[in-house]
Structure 1
């Protein structure tokens, strides 16, 4: 079906960038939408979202110690 990861671009995001969340239980995941006009969308299944939250939490802890 789908490959584990397929991407052809990158994004640099700072605190001025709006971030919206589309959580859709029927899709079994969440989509993060970065930006207003030119957007970057990131869809994560539940396990990937959990990994991102854990890694982000650990990283914030290290950066703010």
Structure 2
């Protein structure tokens, strides 16, 4: 799921930063991990938005949308 992907990307970014600070990882690895984390965040929030839009569409279709 998107939430699991976000959690994994968060952990990868954390570990990559630790490796960099310990001198066993590169700056490129950090930038890549941070970029992938931002993409996972975008995907996660996009999925939430899509679910909310679908819920509203369903409520409109069934006449249960509260104003």
Which structure's residues are more often helix, by fraction? 2
Which structure's residues are more often strand, by fraction? 1
Tell me which structure has the larger Cα radius of gyration: 2
Structure-2-length-normalised TM-score: 0.37
Higher relative contact order (CA 8 A, sep 6+): 2
Structure-1-length-normalised TM-score: 0.38
